[in-house]
Structure 1
Amino acid sequence: MTQGNSEQEPITFVDNRKVDPETGEIREPAADNGAAAAPAPAAEPAPAAGNGAPQTETLADTIGGELAERTADLQRLTAEYANYRRRVERDRKAATDAAKASVVTELLGVLDDLDRARAHGDLESGPLRSVADKLAAALQKQGLEEFGSEGEPFDPTLHEAVQHEGSGHDPVIGVVMRKGYRFGDRVLRHALVGVTDGVADLAETADRPTEEASDVDADTSDR
């Protein structure tokens, strides 16, 4: 035998029997190339066409509605707070003005005494004049105003007439018996005055006798 025949490849036998002759068990079919067949991967479900857009629009509408509701609540709270601040400020100012007016009203008697002293010449000089000027300046700075002087038109909402001379339709103040005072828009005390006829009424009264005399002279001439 030659050397080439001795180096031939070994013969391989494949047992294709389905039953093992030694154990009697059924054999598993061999996979190609000796590898077990791997299970095929499960296919992923395809997304349903047309379902994403409606859900997005619904979510956007919900968020927009909630945002509009929260914005309206915030605007309402802001308006209520602004009204509350204005109301508190108005009430605070009204309470302050009422307290000032109450204190000033208690001092009106002192101002009357100073006016009488001034009318008698007691405030021409001396320390009392300085006290009177300082008191009047301090009250005026707080908002006190006096009214009622001779020659002013008579106003029944500010003046209280205790005497009336004449019968004209244009009454004016002829004499002031007690000054009136107001604090801002509040009248603390009405002025006591005497009312007389105005300039127009006095001129009318002066012209009336002349006209009557002219009528009498005309009648005499006709006779």
Structure 2
Amino acid sequence: MDGGLPRDADPARLRCLLQERTADLQRVKAEYDNYRKRVRRDRMAVREIAAANILRTLLPVLDAVDRTCAHEPMTPGLADIAHTLDTRLGALGLESFGQEGDPFDPACHEALVHHVSPDATRPTCTRILRAGYRAGPHLLRPATVEVTGPPPG
């Protein structure tokens, strides 16, 4: 044997063995690449869920700051706190939604009051009682709204 090969080795048989080993190696490499992609995808999913959970727990703080800004005189300290909180939570992917005039969507709006108007052609958010929030694809909290829509029938 020279270099691990038998002296009477058939070249056709050696080519066949080489092809088998190459195919095995390619299969193992493909499995490893798939594993790496799956781990990366799972890590990103865990990161998104963790960020969404943290943001969800901070929503009452954000609501308290918003209420304070709406009902108290705006001091430089309060303005700085509100701006910093909005900036930092926005950097984590927090987005508020819910504007007057938005079409009512039960998937992301929670209607507390419904008004009927003969002029309305579709249900529309006419007053935002509490902003809704999402982080990426995750709905953290629906917007609480008053809705005006057409008469039934």
Give the TM-score of the pair, scaled to structure 1.
Answer: 0.60
Output aligned runs, 1:188-203, within 5 Å. Answer: 188-197=140-149
User: Structure 1 residue 70 and structure 2 residue 21: aligned?
Assistant: yes
Segments of 5+ residues of structure 2 without an aligned counterpart are: 1-7
- Residues 94 and 135 in structure 2, CA contact (< 8 A), matched pair in contact too: yes
Question: What RMSD in Å do the two structures reach over aligned CA positions?
Answer: 1.9
Residues 119-149 of structure 1: per-residue CA shift (max 9 Å, x gap): 2143x23201101110110000110000011
User: Structure 1 residue 159 and structure 2 residue 102: aligned?
Assistant: no
Segments of 5+ residues of structure 1 without an aligned counterpart are: 1-55, 202-223
The 2-side partners of 1:80 and 1:96 are apart by 24
Q: Which has the larger radius of gyration?
A: 1
The 2-side partners of 1:83 and 1:146 are apart by 36
Output aligned runs, 1:90-169, within 5 Å. Answer: 90-122=41-73, 124-166=74-116, 168-169=120-121
The 1-side partners of 2:65 and 2:100 are apart by 19
Moved over 3 A (4+): none
Q: Percent identity?
A: 45
Give the TM-score of the pair, scaled to structure 2.
Answer: 0.86
Partner amino acid, structure 2, of 1:130: D
Larger RCO (alpha carbons 8 Å, 6+ apart): 2
The 1-side partners of 2:121 and 2:26 are apart by 58
Output aligned runs, 1:20-59, within 5 Å. Answer: 59=10
Partner amino acid, structure 2, of 1:191: A
The 1-side partners of 2:70 and 2:108 are apart by 23
**26, 29, 35: which one pairs with 1:84?**
35
Between Structure 1 and Structure 2, how many residues are aligned? 142
